Amino acid sequence: QELSRNRQLARTPVTLIGKQELSFSPGKHNQLQKHVIENFLPIFGYGAEVLYVGDTENKFKYSNATRLASLNFFELAHDKLPDVVAYSLAKNWLFLIEAVTTANPINELRLRTLKQLTMQCSADVVYVTAFPDRATYRKFAHEIAWETEVWLADSPEHMIHFNGDKFIGPYQRS
């Protein structure tokens, strides 16, 4: 065991549906993924089950390949994957979520690529870029693709919709 040189680094525990627990390596990106799983999905996911999540040290940290295959999801390849994939049976929605701390929001090129990869998917796909806070979001706002969603971990009860008339309308007067 001494020769394997395994390191006992700090981990951020993440609980998946079904009480399965993961430990992520430390870092802002993995902390944001934890927020996505523990805050975004319970609020906006309609009971979504995590089908895939990576880690900065292990891109295939958790994967439910059987469930992904049943949805005709594309073959998991390191360079094509979003950070978190979750499925809501109640809505038949597949959430493809990019956790952005330093780079790679869902821009028009990334959206086109993801749409091509999910053409055969039997679920409707929701594209989400998650940021830790508004300051990080502001750095990338000009890159966000239309017809996608943005979620901020520091304002977990709210979404920013990069859509047209889908969400326009008055609020009730208080």
As given in the structure block, the two tokens for residue 57 are 């040290």
Higher pLDDT pick, 97 / 63 = 97
Q: Is residue 59 part of a domain?
A: yes
Asked, for residue 125, whether it belongs to a domain, the answer is yes
Whether 33 has a pLDDT exceeding 90, the answer reads: yes
- pLDDT, mean over the chain: 86
How far is CA 73 from each of CA 42, 66, 119, rounded to the nearest angstrom?
A: 22, 10, 9
For the chain, the domain total comes to: 1
Q: Is the pLDDT of residue 147 over 50?
A: yes
Among 53-57, 62-66, 159-163, name the one with the lowest average pLDDT: 53-57
The dihedral sign for the CA sequence 74, 62, 67, 160? negative
Contact present, 93 and 46 (Cβ < 8 Å) = yes
16 within domain boundaries = yes
Q: Is residue 1 part of a domain?
A: no
pTM over 0.85: yes
Residue range of the domain that includes 39: 9-163
Instruction: Confirm whether 67 is domain-assigned.
Output: yes
d(CA 98, CA 128): 6
DSSP letter at 101 equals: S
CA distance 39 to 131: 13
Report the distance separating Cα 74 and Cα 71, nearest Å.
9
Residue 49 has pLDDT above 50, yes or no: yes
Whether pLDDT at 9 is above 50: no
Q: Is residue 169 part of a domain?
A: no
Confidence of residue 109 (pLDDT cuts 50, 70, 90): very high
> Residue 166 corresponds to which tokens in the numbers above?
């889908």
Please say if the pLDDT value at position 107 is more than 80.
yes
Give per-residue pLDDT as tens, 65-102: 899 999 999 887 656 789 999 999 999 999 999 999 99
pLDDT of residue 63: 86
Q: Does residue 113 lie in a domain region?
A: yes
CATH number at residue 13: 3.40.1350.80
Does residue 116 fall inside a structural domain?
yes
Place 8 in a pLDDT band, splitting at 50, 70 and 90. low
